[in-house]
Structure formats: C-alpha cells, structure tokens
C-alpha cells in the first residue's frame, strides 16, 4: 500500500499551474477539476456533485484515487467551483473527511443570499477550532447574483468575527476577520471589478493561503511543526487562527 498522501482537490475554472508554486505538505497530490458536467459554470460543477451524490470517496475513485490512501483532504475552489464544493460539504461523510477549505472568491448565491448548508456547517466547525476554513472575497458580482463578499457576509452573520492579520505572502486585502480556525479575507474592490481582480484569487491568493496557512496547519495537526519562530503553530497564530490540533476531525 502506498504511503498516505495529502490531497488537494482544486475545483473551478482553474489549471494545475495555478498551484505550481504553492508549498504543499509532503507527500502531496493535487487533483484539478477544471470543468463540471457540461461546462465551467456553477450549475455544471453542482451537477457533477449531484452525479456523485456529494460522495467524496466516489468522486475520487472516478479519478483513480483511494480516499483511504489520503492522510488529509483539502478542498480548494475558485469562482464557480463552489458548486461542487457545496455538494461535497452537504454530504456528512464527505464533510467529516475534509481537513481544510480554501474558497478563493468561491462562494456565490442567488440575490436572496440564503446561506448554503454545506459551507455553513463547515464554517461552524472551523469557528469552533475543529477545522481550517479560509474564504477570500471580492466585490465582483454578476447581473443576476451578488458578489462573493456580499454572500459571505450573509453566510457569516452572527459568527462574531474579530479583526485579525492576513498572511504576508498574498495581495493585502482591505481587511481580515476571523474566529478559531475561520478566516475571511475581504478584498472588496481593492484590485478592481474586472477579470484581473477576480482571477488573482486563483493565481495569487489560493496558492499563498495553501502555503502559509493550510500546510502549517496540517503539519501542526500531524505534530511535524518545527520549533522556533518559523514553526507551523506560530504561522497560524500570526494570522489569528487558533486550532485544536490534537482533536480528531
């Protein structure tokens, strides 16, 4: 049986090259899902999730990966990729197997902004210090849907988030707030309202967050963090994140 790997599932209109420079746990494997069932829109990604009934094990099996051979699982998505991630997080068994979530401008809703139950359940777990969730948002929306910043604001109402620090290796956001293992990076319109301001969440924010927060967190949980000022524990504390590393997810 091969050594367990640290799996990153990278979903959305993305490419593997986006994460090429990210410092991931060793050993790691990135599975990129750049298209849903029939396209690159959120409905197509959600249709893929429905096809597998939100079952992470079956989705990975269709790509030749055995979930039992994954030491950790990180769900990372950009833009429309949230459609698949939401279906995976709605499935209790799948959600329980996810160690970290990175939503890079990757959470959208209808104008009613009713919170998505999968994201909501996982964010609650993170706020309770039992997981890691990092959401970055811009004020870029569409003609029929609000921006991720507006939608996440509704999602996290009542979480009593507090101002904290953002990682230093990503474009500085307008502000950052968090609680426990939950971090919200609010970019608003700081980098524009077009394609560049949106796509940088995939090309710069997501790989930076994976490097500076997700990898240290997973190392910290596994007891592999180094001593000294560059330790994983201090890296997490620098972003205001408090994780119960010894608690099973």
pLDDT at position 4 is 87
Beta bridge partners of 10: 32, 76
Average pLDDT, stretch 185-203? 96
- Percentage above 70 pLDDT, the chain: 88
215: its two tokens: 């990898």
Its pTM stands at 0.92
Look-up of token digits 């599932």: 9
Q: Does CATH place domain 5-238 in 2.60.40?
A: no
DSSP state of 174: S
Q: Could you read off the pLDDT of 90-110 as tens digits, one per residue? A: 999 999 999 999 999 999 999
Q: How confident is the model at residue 242 (pLDDT cuts 50, 70, 90)?
A: low
pLDDT at position 219 is 87
Alpha-helical regions (H) of the chain: 42-51, 56-61, 82-90, 92-96, 117-127, 148-155, 195-200, 206-209, 215-222, 232-238
133: its two tokens: 């969730």
Average pLDDT, stretch 55-68? 97
Q: Report which of 147, 236, 158, 202 is spatially closest to residue 10, judged by C-alpha positions.
A: 202
Report whether 106 contacts 201 (CB < 8 A): yes
Can you state the angle between helices 82-90 and 117-127, rounded to 10 degrees?
A: 70
The overall average pLDDT reported for the chain is 90
pLDDT at position 221 is 77
Q: How far apart are CA 142 and CA 15, in angstroms?
A: 23
* Residue 115 CB burial class (10 angstroms; 0-12, 13-18, ≥19): middle
Report whether 100 contacts 72 (CB < 8 A): yes
Q: How confident is the model at residue 229 (pLDDT cuts 50, 70, 90)?
A: very low
Please report, for residues 31, 151, 203, the alpha-carbon distance to residue 109 in angstroms, rounded to integers and kept in the order given: 25, 6, 23
Q: How confident is the model at residue 246 (pLDDT cuts 50, 70, 90)?
A: very low
29: its two tokens: 């494997």
Backbone φ and ψ for 6, nearest 5 degrees, come out as -100, 110
Q: Could you read off the pLDDT of 154-184 as tens digits, one per residue? A: 999 999 999 999 999 999 999 999 999 999 9
pLDDT at 1 over 80: no
Q: How far apart are CA 178 and CA 126, in angstroms?
A: 10
Q: How far apart are CA 239 and CA 218, in angstroms?
A: 15
74: its two tokens: 């990180």
Average pLDDT, stretch 131-154? 96
pLDDT at 16 over 60: yes
């Amino acid at each position: 049986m091969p050594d367990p790997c640290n799996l990153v599932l990278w979903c959305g209109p993305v490419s593997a090259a986006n994460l090429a420079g990210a410092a991931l746990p060793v050993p790691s494997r990135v599975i990129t899902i750049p298209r849903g069932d029939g396209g690159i829109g959120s409905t197509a990604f959600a249709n893929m999730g429905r096809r597998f009934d939100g079952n992470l094990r079956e989705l990975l099996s269709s790509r030749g990966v055995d979930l039992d051979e994954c030491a950790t699982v990180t769900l990372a998505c950009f833009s429309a990729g949230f459609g698949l991630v939401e279906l995976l997080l709605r499935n209790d068994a799948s959600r329980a197997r996810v160690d970290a979530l990175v939503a890079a401008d990757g959470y959208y809703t209808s104008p009613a902004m009713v919170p998505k139950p999968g994201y909501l359940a996982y964010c609650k777990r993170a706020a309770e210090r039992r997981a890691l969730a990092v959401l970055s948002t811009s004020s870029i929306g569409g003609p029929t849907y609000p921006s991720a910043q507006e939608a996440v604001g509704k999602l996290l109402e009542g979480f009593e988030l507090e101002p904290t620090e953002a990682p230093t290796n990503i474009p500085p956001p307008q502000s950052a707030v968090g609680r426990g293992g939950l971090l919200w990076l609010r970019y608003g319109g700081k980098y524009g309202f077009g394609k560049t301001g949106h796509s940088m969440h995939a090309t710069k924010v997501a790989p930076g967050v994976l490097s500076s927060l997700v990898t240290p967190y997973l190392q910290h949980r596994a007891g592999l963090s180094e001593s000294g000022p560059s330790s994983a524990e201090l890296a997490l504390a620098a972003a205001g994140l408090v994780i119960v590393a010894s608690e099973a997810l």
